[in-house]
Amino acid sequence: MTRNHKVTGRALSMPAGFAIGTGISLGTMLLLSALLAKLISTERLEWDKIGYGIMVILLVTSALGAKFTCMMVKRRKLMSCMVAGLLYWLCLLMITALFFGGQYNGVGITGAVILCGSAVICLQELKGERGRNAGQHRGKLKKRRL
């Protein structure tokens, strides 16, 4: 099945889109981590709730990075979203190895949360990719049966 798209030439290359998406994820993670630290230091958030805050930060930042990657690359959205999440997770692993001496506690859970954030954006992007004529297909099938 062919698609007719107007070529505008505004899509970035995949490596550039991945770099921008990963940079946005890491930058947003730093800002939200500073906000979480400020909430804990002013005692507006209890120390026991820090795990929930970190999970929300990981989910939001992976979703933002995947969304910006899809917006920049504009093609192969399934692969773009998943690779953006994988690159973000690998960057966090490298930061862990560099600053914490390779104490990989909770790597699997972190990867699962990042995968979920990227998958949500992936499903959203693929749903929008169906086009405006997708609903008309079912109507034609029903008419043929009668």
Question: For residue 8, what pLDDT is reported?
Answer: 66
H or E segment and range at residue 91 = helix 77-99
Token reading at 8? 């505008």
Question: For residue 77, what pLDDT is reported?
Answer: 84
This model's pTM is above 0.85: no
Question: Does the pLDDT at position 58 exceed 70?
Answer: yes
The number of CA neighbours under 13 Å toward the Cβ of 142 is 5
- Residue 80 CA to residue 82 CA, distance in Å, equals 6
